[in-house]
Structure 1
């Protein structure tokens, strides 16, 4: 097999992981929103900040950009733009589901929707990380902390999102049972899910092995 064909196969597998991850994450995020039991830590921070600043939109994008700028400064590399593709791609899928609101035709209880949504968000994030393309900005910053400071991924992600959650709460942002569920489930499950995908489903991890 030629090097070109091998490269095409690896690229195809990476994009398959990425696309699947974005779809699964977006379904999970929609179910989490549909449960109406709380916001994720980033939204808690955004809503808290909006109560004190004349900003109505774009705070999540601003946080993502700040993460990417910090990564670029820390690693002395160019700013990565692929996480923004993921941000808008997943956002578009979530918006489409919100418009259809398909979950209203199911019998999902709010807590079932919340737990299922958190699980799917974690699994989708794991697949996106394994694709090594368009890794979500906060996840990428947590991975950079892991590579640079040998901090376990889940601790790095927990520190980042925990800081957003605490700051948002202090600013008056909403914190519900869903917020805590999202924080605990997604932060703690991504790393085991990557391991399970490699060991049990024989999926390739295109990201640096040391990240997980």
Structure 2
């Protein structure tokens, strides 16, 4: 249990840091982060704090979907945006296409690595992933359809609000699924007896977020997040 809790905390922290690097790259971010960015621009509240707040609001949508949050759900809301905000305070904006792409790639790899770590802990999906899996359960729609509807909607709203949407958004969408798949295969759920059990989630989104194949809360849904 101690190892699993540590994996959950480390995974979510790395996820928040990876998202922050993608933001600093300035080339485009994933749908949920673009949404948070847009809200941040109009409220003056840090994008990390907005990410936490949005996670809490999304959790309320679980009620009609009859989803039950777990430790991982609560930790996601508390840690992901907080670490994102802290990282943004440390890493300044950058200039130059080479440096920007370096941060984008580094951030994407970090998010994929983090996803495999915290999903492997086995403490349940994050609020955004749970929303999509809940729609799948209650409405009977395929995960990829639920994910597409949710993520395209928040991406469009985020773009209209001024969130960063660009080549980075496309790269993240195409790369995160395969990368998370590899990460999840590497970081299998660690049992109390120390043995590892592979737990590769169904695809669609969580990817929970995208035309990418991400595992639930994994890469098939987003992260983020």
What TM-score range do you get, normalising by the shorter chain?
0.5 to 0.7
Structure-1 separation of matches of 2:81 and 2:29 = 15
State the match for 1:6 in structure 2. none
Q: Is the 8 A contact 2:76 2:127 kept in 1?
A: no
Provide the alpha-carbon RMSD of the alignment. Answer: 3.7
Is 1:83 aligned to 2:73, yes or no?
A: yes
Is 1:26 aligned to 2:26, yes or no?
A: no
Is 1:17 aligned to 2:26, yes or no?
A: no
Is 1:72 aligned to 2:63, yes or no?
A: yes
Q: Is the 8 A contact 1:17 1:127 kept in 2?
A: yes
Structure-2 separation of matches of 1:122 and 1:158 = 19
Is 1:118 aligned to 2:88, yes or no?
A: no
TM-score (norm 2): 0.64
State the match for 1:169 in structure 2. 159
Residues 116, 17 of structure 1: CA spacing in aligned structure 2 closer, same or farther, 3 A cutoff? same
Structure-2 separation of matches of 1:138 and 1:95 = 19
Give, in angstroms, the shift of residue 169 of structure 1: 2.7
Give, in angstroms, the shift of residue 95 of structure 1: 3.0
Residues 50, 24 of structure 1: CA spacing in aligned structure 2 closer, same or farther, 3 A cutoff? closer
- Match runs of 1:26-175 below 5 Å: 26-48=16-38, 55-57=43-45, 59-75=50-66, 77=68, 83-101=73-91, 109-133=99-123, 135-145=125-135, 149=140, 151-152=142-143, 156-175=146-165
Structure-2 separation of matches of 1:19 and 1:139 = 18
Rg larger in structure: 1
TM-score (norm 1): 0.67
Give, in angstroms, the shift of residue 121 of structure 1: 0.9
Residues 66, 121 of structure 1: CA spacing in aligned structure 2 closer, same or farther, 3 A cutoff? same
Residues 86, 17 of structure 1: CA spacing in aligned structure 2 closer, same or farther, 3 A cutoff? same
- CA offsets 1:75-132 (integer angstroms, 9 cap, x no match): 265x65753432332333333333333898xxx7221220221121122123222223
Structure-1 separation of matches of 2:158 and 2:44 = 15
**Structure 1 gaps, min length 5:** 1-10
Structure-2 separation of matches of 1:173 and 1:23 = 22
Higher relative contact order (CA 8 A, sep 6+): 1
The structure with the largest helix share of the pair is 1
Structure-2 separation of matches of 1:25 and 1:187 = 15
Q: Is the 8 A contact 1:86 1:134 kept in 2?
A: no
Count of matched residue positions in the alignment of Structure 1 and Structure 2: 192
Give, in angstroms, the shift of residue 41 of structure 1: 1.5
